[in-house]
Structure 1
Amino acid sequence: MTNYQLPKGLIVSCQAPESSPLHEPGVIAAIACAAVNQGAVGLRIDTPAHVSAVRSRVNAPIIGLWKQQIPGYEVYITPQFKHAEAIARSGADIIAIDATLRNRPDGESVEILIARIHDELGKPVMADVDTIEAAIAATAAGADIVGTTLYGYTPQTQHLSPPGFDLLTQMVEQLNVPAICEGGIASPQMAKSALELGAYAVVVGTAITGIDHNVKAYRAVFPNTEPQNF
């Protein structure tokens, strides 16, 4: 494993729905550049193509992932080693994985996946979790960073709404690795609250880069306006 150190501060998630014009690698790279130009210390990027495009334009740390829907399994953030390998080869500095306690494809445990990423790819791992139990297990399995990313997005936490400040507080108190707050951060004040609770860094996505989602939300107050496809 490398001794790579993620800076403290704002990490911007630059992602877009596959149906969006923003999904083009060059567009994602431009958004990432804009984020770094304004002081983001890192980026969170999905898919090898997007990681490669961003890597070609910025030197800032990239937390890379690859969302994959595998029939019969709920885990979808870099679920298998082959996905981690593709992200690493595309230029990511840190590999994000789903580290919830759900069943995994091929029976490859979180511990085995993290060990392979460390040993074979030489990359640190960010464990995306939903509960403190998953966070503790991920840390024991060797995760270098743990994030609240999946709080509110799993069957066990679907009754909860991000941001997971309660989970963040537990992680800060009980883990010996950096705790990152990700998910549901909708304003600078919310990011500040996360920092005050002890977050090492804060990931913001939709509130900054989610043009499709945000325009749709605003359009809801204009009932006679229909979306246009270009």
Structure 2
Amino acid sequence: MLDSLKHQLIVSCQAPVDSPLHDPLIIAAFAKAAILRGAVGVRIDTPTHVKAVRQQLPEVPIIGLWKQQIPGYSVYITPRFEDAIAIGEAGADIIAIDATSRPRPNLEKVTDLIYKIHQDLGKLVMADVDDLESARMAVKAGVDIVGTTLYGYTEKTQTCEPPGWDLLQEMVKEFEVPVICEGGIATPEMAKKALELGAYSVVVGGAITGVDLKLQAFQAVFSPGGLVGN
């Protein structure tokens, strides 16, 4: 399955929880459209959405995750083993987890979470990281894929703007496991650059499926103080 993802496009099909597009059937339609137009895999949030996509695309690789906002913790991408269980049972082939060095709920270590996903669920693990240190920890713990997903989205990297080109190059140079470029890929040219820098695959989300964010950006032009207001 990992071989099928090499040098290919993976589309993240997600929508804000307050959007009509958050409906599982619509997310599944996004995913099916992505595959019909040439993507080889999809990245899906929540067990309900993973299940809906799996029903529509029984053979397509799914990277599943569950974003959970837990009071007192900034870790939110599949933060606990119980979240990973739900994603695995819904039909994901690969489970993405926050593999940063930030404190975790239930005092659960990243290394233990990776081990249990492998041993108890029999699933592959994608480590979403923000820097080289967290990537090293995840790779040492045995992850199957490491991604630049959280570069620019954590306390340590909040002054950085994705894509993490430097981080991507460092990880490609140091690790043998597949390194996926994810985060901030806004154009086909940027996706091409990621591949040229050695990315195993490229995940594109908002630039393809981020309808709500695109609408908000356009609407800002028409709001007081926007271009029309001037």
For the aligned pair, the TM-score class normalised by the smaller chain equals over 0.9
Superposed counterparts of 1:1-230, under 5 Å: 5=3, 7-8=5-6, 9-58=8-57, 59-223=59-223
Q: How far off its partner does 1:222 sit?
A: 2.1
Superposed CA offset, 1:46-79 (max 9, x none)? 0000000000001210000000011111110000
CA RMSD of aligned residues (A): 1.1
The residue type paired with residue 84 of structure 1 is A
Q: Cα gap change, 1:4/1:202 in structure 2, threshold over 3 Å: closer, same or farther?
A: closer
The residue type paired with residue 29 of structure 2 is A
Counterpart CA distance in 2 for 1:107 and 1:101 is 12
Counterpart CA distance in 1 for 2:10 and 2:180 is 10
Instruction: Give TM-score, length-normalised by structure 1.
Output: 0.94
Identity of aligned residues (%): 64
Superposed CA offset, 1:159-201 (max 9, x none)? 0000011100000001121000000000000000000000000
Q: Is the Cα contact below 8 Å between 1:4 and 1:124 reproduced in 2?
A: no
Q: How many residue pairs were aligned?
A: 222
Instruction: Give TM-score, length-normalised by structure 2.
Output: 0.94
SS in structure 2 at match of 1:208: helix
Q: How far off its partner does 1:140 sit?
A: 0.3
SS in structure 1 at match of 2:156: coil
SS in structure 1 at match of 2:191: helix
Counterpart CA distance in 1 for 2:102 and 2:25 is 34
Per the alignment, residue 227 of structure 2 pairs with: none
SS in structure 1 at match of 2:49: helix
SS in structure 2 at match of 1:43: strand
* Unaligned runs of at least 5 residues, structure 1: 225-230
SS in structure 1 at match of 2:157: coil
Q: Give the number of the structure whose residues are more often helix, by fraction.
A: 2
Superposed CA offset, 1:14-41 (max 9, x none)? 0000000000000000000000000101
* Unaligned runs of at least 5 residues, structure 2: 225-230
The residue type paired with residue 36 of structure 2 is N
The residue type paired with residue 139 of structure 1 is V
The residue type paired with residue 93 of structure 2 is D
The residue type paired with residue 129 of structure 1 is V
Please list every run of at least 4 consecutive aligned residues from structure 1 whose deviation after the TM superposition is greater than 4 angstroms. Answer: 3-6
Superposed CA offset, 1:110-153 (max 9, x none)? 11000000000000100000000100110001111000000000
Counterpart CA distance in 2 for 1:172 and 1:62 is 23
Q: Cα gap change, 1:140/1:93 in structure 2, threshold over 3 Å: closer, same or farther?
A: same
Which range moves more in the overlay, 5-14 or 141-150?
A: 5-14
Counterpart CA distance in 2 for 1:5 and 1:136 is 22
Q: Cα gap change, 1:130/1:84 in structure 2, threshold over 3 Å: closer, same or farther?
A: same
Counterpart CA distance in 2 for 1:16 and 1:37 is 20
